[in-house]
């Protein structure tokens, strides 16, 4: 049983599989679990969020718990209180803490001193809660994930990295196409027990061959604003549109973690059309995270 969920690699392949099946049950009957009855979960945000905040807050409510949303500028952390002390105090009041922050080292330090599970709600390198929702969306479309090919087209960022790590753990063949300078690490270590694979490409048309889904993300992520112009230039040929989807497997659909910039990384026709599961994917954040919370706070 993992104490924390920092990269997703804490899970075994079997745990990931059962977590996704539990998320399907929770989606079918959203009020069937009161796993957090009488308990509180702290959610610390040092960066903006729409989906993560709403899906965690509503999901915790549905589980019978109370979500305590804490903006970092309102905490004593902003005045220099130690992460260790913050972790020790939170551990006395809440049953889990979600954190959206920049450096992964900050999250790791908080987790090191926490006596309760710590959940990564997005860091510079990882977005594992998003990957859970991504896998749930794929699982809804395909009874078996093992051996499916999924393409990611664009910036090799935290979303791509988490898709690669958790996708490989679920047995996916993940193909990532990025321009030079924006690629994922070629030697990214896959989680123990991963039966899937990661392949890196520069040509998006090669990556999408045989893919059942084509995923993309914004070209300018939070924190990348100072290099926005050069990013848009480098990533300009990596738009997910109907022409690119035509090169993927029959009935392939588009995915995006949102927020989206229609006309940049994805065409408006795809974003709002019938060849996508993007809005299901956004909803699935809640169901997947509820399954995760159950898993972390109710050890078997």
- Binding residues for ligand CP (CB under 6 A): 49-52, 122, 130, 257-258
Q: What is the smallest separation between the CB atom of 55 and ligand CP, expressed in angstroms?
A: 8
- Over the range 172-191, which residues count as b (16 or more CB within 10 Å of their CB) and which as e? bbbbbbbbeebbbeeeeebb
Residue nearest to ligand CP as judged by C-beta position: 52
Angle at 300 between CA 4 and CA 65, to 5 degrees: 65
Q: What is the smallest separation between the CB atom of 224 and ligand CP, expressed in angstroms?
A: 14
Q: What is the smallest separation between the CB atom of 48 and ligand CP, expressed in angstroms?
A: 7
Q: What is the smallest separation between the CB atom of 197 and ligand CP, expressed in angstroms?
A: 25
DSSP 47: S
Which two tokens mark 197? Answer: 């694979």
Residue 13 or 99 having the CB closest to ligand CP: 99
Q: What is the smallest separation between the CB atom of 250 and ligand CP, expressed in angstroms?
A: 28
d(CA 196, CA 202): 20
Residue 3 or 68 having the CB closest to ligand CP: 68
Residue 49 or 91 having the CB closest to ligand CP: 49
Residue 16 or 132 having the CB closest to ligand CP: 132
- Over the range 51-73, which residues count as b (16 or more CB within 10 Å of their CB) and which as e? bbbebbbbbbebbebebbebeee
Cβ burial, residue 1 (10 Å; 0-12/13-18/19+): exposed
- Residue closest to 11 by CA, chosen among 198, 152, 168, 138: 168
Residue 56 or 201 having the CB closest to ligand CP: 56
Q: What is the smallest separation between the CB atom of 278 and ligand CP, expressed in angstroms?
A: 10
DSSP 46: S
Residue 155 or 194 having the CB closest to ligand CP: 155
d(CA 86, CA 147): 43
DSSP 197: E
Q: Is 286 helix (H, G, I), strand (E, B) or coil?
A: helix
Counting Cα atoms < 13 Å in the Cβ hemisphere of 79 gives: 3
Residue 49 or 72 having the CB closest to ligand CP: 49
Q: What is the smallest separation between the CB atom of 285 and ligand CP, expressed in angstroms?
A: 7
């Amino acid at each position: 049983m993992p104490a924390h969920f920092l990269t997703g690699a804490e899970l075994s392949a079997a745990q990931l599989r059962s977590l996704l099946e539990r998320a399907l049950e929770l989606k079918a009957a959203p009020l069937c679990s009161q796993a957090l009855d009488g308990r509180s979960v702290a959610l610390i945000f040092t960066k903006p969020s729409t989906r993560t905040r709403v899906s965690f807050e509503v999901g915790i409510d549905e589980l019978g718990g109370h979500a305590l949303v804490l903006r970092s500028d309102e905490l004593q952390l902003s005045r220099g209180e130690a992460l260790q002390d913050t972790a020790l105090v939170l551990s006395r009041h809440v049953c889990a803490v979600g954190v959206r922050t920049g450096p992964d080292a900050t999250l790791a330090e908080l987790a090191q001193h926490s006596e309760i599970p710590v959940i990564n709600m997005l860091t510079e390198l990882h977005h594992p809660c998003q990957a859970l929702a991504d896998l749930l969306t794929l699982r809804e479309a395909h009874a078996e994930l093992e051996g499916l090919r999924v393409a990611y087209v664009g910036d090799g960022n935290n979303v791509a990295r988490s898709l690669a790590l958790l996708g490989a753990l679920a047995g996916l063949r993940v193909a990532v196409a990025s321009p030079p300078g924006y690629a994922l690490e070629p030697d990214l270590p896959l989680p123990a027990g991963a039966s899937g694979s990661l392949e890196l490409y520069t040509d998006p048309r090669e990556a999408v061959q045989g893919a059942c889904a084509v995923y993309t993300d914004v070209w300018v992520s939070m924190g990348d604003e100072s290099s926005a112009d050069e990013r848009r230039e480098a990533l300009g040929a990596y738009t997910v549109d109907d022409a690119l989807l035509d090169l993927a497997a029959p009935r392939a659909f588009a995915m995006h973690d949102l927020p989206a910039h229609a006309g940049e990384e994805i065409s408006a026709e795809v974003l709002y059309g019938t060849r996508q599961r993007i809005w299901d994917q956004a909803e699935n954040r809640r169901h997947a995270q509820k399954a995760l919370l159950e898993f972390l706070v109710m050890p078997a």
